[in-house]
Amino acid sequence: MTVLDPSSSVVTFEPENKEIDKRWGVPQKLFVPQNCYHCGRAPCIESCPKGAIERRADGIVHIVADKCIGCKQCILVCPYGAIQFNDKIGIADKCNMCAHLVDRGQVPVCVSKCPYKARKFGTLDELSTYIEKEKIKVLVIPELEWFQPAAFYCKGGHKF
Ligand code: SF4
Ligand code: SF4
Ligand code: SF4
């Protein structure tokens, strides 16, 4: 079962088989951060009355700040609760996959700065090949597969 809370910045996975966490004696849970999944089918793009949410050729979904009027429609429709409202400047805001760094051939900050090296960045082909080669179990949220998320969470303590 997956607990989704659009107002939260994390998602909780509760495995079907309810494995017991030996450390605490309670069913396992996994908390994951909720940044944008850069969906292949992105309802946020369709919802925006100003065309302020665009998909780049490389798949990155980003908000064009100059076009946003702060109507919050996109916040309502994002199935992952990945868009926040920036009260200071009155517009919607979200993860843009650090596009400015990607354009310079660098990786996103959350990838390069994660102290546990828990994140990996690449094209879908590169990541799929890696996942297949390493036989890594990918956690999916079945209810949300339709949106074709381009970010994945994997189970286990893999060092990338
Ligand atoms: S996760 Fe939300 S904000 Fe990101 S592309 Fe999908 S619908 Fe849009
Ligand atoms: S808040 Fe901005 S980006 Fe979101 S739907 Fe409204 S105009 Fe578009
Ligand atoms: S550091 Fe960059 S890629 Fe990572 S969540 Fe923030 S905007 Fe997205």
Nearest CA to ligand 3 atom 6: 95
Res. 143: pLDDT tops 60: yes
Atom of ligand 1 nearest to the CA of 83: 3
Res. 150: pLDDT tops 70: yes
The average pLDDT across 35-50 equals 96
Residue 17 is predicted with a pLDDT of 57
111 band by pLDDT with thresholds 50, 70 and 90: very high
Dihedral pair phi/psi, residue 79, rounded to 5°: -70, -15
Residue 131 is predicted with a pLDDT of 85
117 band by pLDDT with thresholds 50, 70 and 90: confident
Residue 12 structure tokens: 């909780």
Question: Which of 26-35, 88-97, 139-148 has the largest mean confidence?
Answer: 88-97
Ligand 1 within 6 A of CB of 94: yes
23 band by pLDDT with thresholds 50, 70 and 90: confident
Nearest CA to ligand 1 atom 4: 36
CB atoms within 10 A of CB 142: 7
Ligand 3 within 6 A of CB of 95: yes
| b/e sequence 80-95, b meaning 16+ C-beta within 10 Å | bbbbeeeeeeebbbbb
Question: Which of 62-66, 114-118, 156-160 has the largest mean confidence?
Answer: 62-66
Nearest CA to ligand 2 atom 2: 68
Nearest CA to ligand 3 atom 3: 97
Residue 16 is predicted with a pLDDT of 55
Q: Where are the alpha helices (DSSP H) in the chain?
A: 43-47, 73-77, 99-102, 109-112, 124-134
The CATH code belonging to domain 2-151 is: 3.30.70.20
Strand duo 2-3 + 10-13: pairing? antiparallel
Q: How far apart are the first and last CA of the chain?
A: 27
156 band by pLDDT with thresholds 50, 70 and 90: low
More confident residue, 126 or 7: 126
The domain segmentation of the chain, as residue ranges, is 2-151
Element (H, E) at 26: strand 26-27
Atom of ligand 3 nearest to the CA of 109: 1
Res. 60: pLDDT tops 50: yes
Dihedral pair phi/psi, residue 31, rounded to 5°: -105, 130
